[in-house]
Amino acid sequence: MPEPQNPDREPVIVVRDATATLGARPVLRGIDLTVRRGEVVALLGANGSGKSTAVRSVIGQVPLTGGTVELFGTPLRRFRHWARVGYVPQRTTAAGGVPATIREVVSAGRLSRTRLGIPRKADRAAVDRAIELVGLADRAKDSVNALSGGQHQRVLIARALAAEPELLIMDEPMAGVDLASQEILAATLREQVAGGATVLLVLHELGPLEPLIDRAVVLRDGCVLHDGPPPEAVGQHALPGHDHVHPHAASEPVRTGLLS
Amino acid sequence: MEFLDPPFMQRALLAAVLVGVIAPAVGIYLVQRRQALMGDGIGHIAMTGVGLGFLLSTSPVWMATAVAVAGAVVMELIRWYGRTRGDIALAMLFYGGMAGGVLLINLSDTGSNANLTSYLFGSLSTVSSEDVTAISVLAAFVLLVTVGLRRQLFAVSQDEEFARVTGLPVRLLNLLVAVTAAVTVTVAMRVVGLLLVSALMVVPVAAAQQITRSFKVTFVLSVVIGVGVTLSGTITSYYQDVPPGATIVLLAIGVFVALTVLAAPLARRRARRGETETERCTLEVPAARPAPDDVRV
């Protein structure tokens, strides 16, 4: 495995020989991954290569059948400082079954700092800042139901940023995002990286984020195929076994608002 | 205000107000999680509690609460571990609870089908002073949870996976919602009845969200609608001598329809207001219009 670019910096994420299964099917078959402070690492690969499972196992959302995960030097099992981690799950919508404003959804991201306490002035300011970062300040009081796909993704990222995390973990933040939103997201991310944030993100294609990425890890069939500089000039759709499927599942239930 | 005179009506109205407040307050989280029918399931399970209460000659309200809470906890456990077979397990629980209730109530000496009907569809005259005490205590608990933990419950109901990554005790909060919903079902049982409880948890929320944009306003408005329909429904059934549950639920559906009709012009007005704020297309794209020398091949 090639050595990361800054071997002297402390590792933020360390995954060793991770294996995981979905039902009986092995999804991860022994993955090693180290992300050091300040690095921006993209996880690439075809659908079903295990990249989503890999990031979700890093934050404990997929149980490992073997191997270890450490966050900030602490074994995942004992890790409690969740405010240091900002997570953007793979979603096509930020909406739930009841109307909610952008501000209300983003505020949920601050709970890792306020916990069961009442939000203070600093918490409210952080929420406002996060909304501003993704360029939705003028719409903070609008319902998330009224947003476009790209704006939903911006809300989800603002929610992750509300806790002012040191580590951002994003699962396909660019899926189904219009060009304008992609650029705003790239700018937001650039600002986070300039501020010293560490980023691990699952991407389908490098796209407008390419200049930000320090290192790419390509997965295939649950194994690491490549770990090093981002693949150059492969073209956006030239990765091995590329099979472009958007997460806009046709299976998304029709919402009546009553029984859905 | 003649309906205020009989003591049973005073008790019934007090119970109605409490139910009108707490049913939508819990229901909003169930609707947000897209589990609107969970209340219905708990209602079925609570039947066994009512039957048990009659059989053991203890208070059916407390017995129903105990059984409903146990049932709700089991439902949550099934949701965690069940995965694919979850819905079958829930069906067993629901219908088993219902059948158990009917069986137990007929086995007991004091219980009868008339009694059962009062629990199924609500009854004004049967709300006793002990019921009022029990309802008040339970309603206070429900209100404490649903209002006191609104930020946490909102986060968990909006996006469970994200909430787990913020470090919230998601399982505990889910369990709390389930227990709170179970308690609400038994509180509402005397007024709207077990079969219609779920309607009062869901319909005011569904009605409110036709015209709201934020969770906060939806919460407040659905509670207002809840109290409005339970009060007016209780008073109506006093004069018309019909089960209050039916009146209340039909009134709630009426509000839902009215607000849905109202929602369309409201949305149009909001859209118009938005339009004046954001400019219309001003940029002229040459390619958008066929150029005069556009050669067709």
Chain A residues in contact with B168 by the CB 8 A cut-off are 111-112, 115
* CB spacing of B214 vs A61 below 8 angstroms: no
Q: How would you list the strands of the sheet with A215-220, edge to edge?
A: A85-88, A167-171, A198-202, A40-45, A215-220, A223-228
- Is residue B294, in this structure, part of any structural domain at all? no
- Is residue B295, in this structure, part of any structural domain at all? no
Numbered residues of chain A with Cβ closer than 8 Å to any chain B Cβ: 59-61, 80, 82-83, 85, 87, 89, 91, 94, 96-101, 104-105, 107-109, 111-112, 114-116, 119, 141-143, 145-146, 159, 163, 253, 257-260
B33: domain CATH number is 1.10.3470.10
Report whether A172 contacts A202 (CB < 8 A): yes
pTM over 0.90: no
Chain B residues in contact with A258 by the CB 8 A cut-off are 31, 36, 202-203, 206
Does pLDDT of A104 surpass 90?
yes
Which position has the higher pLDDT, A194 or B125?
Answer: A194
**One-letter amino acid of B225:** I
* Number of structural domains chain A divides into: 1
* CB spacing of B166 vs A109 below 8 angstroms: yes
Q: What is the pLDDT of residue A115?
A: 65
- Is residue A246, in this structure, part of any structural domain at all? no
pLDDT tens figures, B96-123? 998 998 888 888 877 677 778 888 888 8
Average pLDDT for A184-211:
88
- Is residue A244, in this structure, part of any structural domain at all? no
Q: What is the pLDDT of residue A87?
A: 94
- Is residue A208, in this structure, part of any structural domain at all? yes
* Number of structural domains chain B divides into: 1
Residue A138 and residue A147: Cα distance in Å, rounded?
13
- Is residue A248, in this structure, part of any structural domain at all? no
Residue A137 and residue A135: Cα distance in Å, rounded?
6
ipTM: 0.84
List all residues 6 or more positions away from A23 whose beta carbon is below 8 Å from its beta carbon: none
On whether any CB of chain A is under 8 Å from the CB of B159, the answer is yes
| For chain B, percent of residues with pLDDT exceeding 90 | 44
Most distant pair of Cα atoms in chain B: their distance: 96
- Is residue A203, in this structure, part of any structural domain at all? yes
pLDDT tens figures, A35-81? 999 999 999 988 888 888 999 999 998 889 999 999 999 999 999 89
Which residue do the tokens 């005490």 mark?
A: B133
Residue B163 and residue B168: Cα distance in Å, rounded?
6
A46: domain CATH number is 3.40.50.300
Residue B67 and residue B124: Cα distance in Å, rounded?
23
- Is residue A249, in this structure, part of any structural domain at all? no
* CB spacing of A105 vs B28 below 8 angstroms: no
Which residue do the tokens 């969970």 mark?
A: B38
> Domain range holding A200?
11-228
| For chain A, percent of residues with pLDDT exceeding 90 | 45
